[in-house]
Amino acid sequence: MLTVRLDAPTPLADQIVTGIRCAIASRELRPGDGLPTVRQLAADLGINMNTVSRAYRALEATGLVSTVRGRGTVVSACHETGGRQAAEDLDARVRSVLSDARLSGLDRSATEGLVSGAIATIWAKE
């Protein structure tokens, strides 16, 4: 399931990208699974089709999804590269996110709760 917040500072297209990335990472969506059509997702979320279309194009640019004739947008095979570079990139992003959390007034236990929850969601289906 994908949830977006209209009142969040993050653009809607970015929220959709993050939501679908999360669904792929957590194995809610597996390689070969079809995504909803742009029309369906836009109707369900009550947002403009161009926003969903922009999000799908961004996902396609990263290689996470691809357009297959007759099937629409499908999840591509996962690229599990791993390695030292990926860990360094992640470390920098985690620090950035945690800094945001502290600057926005969240305390350590609340932040740990959120991070643990996210880890539990994404690694729910090993």
Partner 1 sequence: MIWFLRLFPAFMILFPLGFTLFAGRHPERASDEGTQLMRRLWSVTLAAITIHIAVVALTETDPEAWRLLRAAWPVGFGTGSFMVIWFGFAMKALQARQPGYRNLPNPGSPEPVRSASLTPRDTTSPVPRGAWFAGWAVFGLCAGATGWALLQGVPSMLILGLAFWLGMGVFGSQASLTEAEPMDTAGSPELAEAWGRLRSFKAWCFYGMGLIGTIGFAAVAVITVFAPGVAGMSGAIFGTAGGIAGGVFGTMASVRRARVNALLQELGTREANGPAQTA
Residues in contact with partner 1 by the rule CB under 8 A: 1-7, 20, 23, 28-29, 34-37, 39-41, 43-47, 72
- Report d(CA 47, CA 9) in Å as an integer: 16
Supply the minimum distance, in Å, between the C-beta of residue 85 and partner 1.
Answer: 30
Q: Given the complex with partner 1, which of 85 and 109 has the nearer CB atom?
A: 109
Minimum separation from the CB atom of position 108 to partner 1 (A): 20
Query: Nearest approach, Cβ of 20 to partner 1 (angstroms)?
Result: 7
Dihedral sign (CA 39, 52, 60, 86):
negative
Q: What is the dihedral of CA 51, 57, 58, 59, to 10 degrees?
A: 110
In terms of Cα–Cα distance, which of 18, 25, 16, 32 is closest to 65?
32
Nearer to partner 1, 40 or 67 (CB): 40
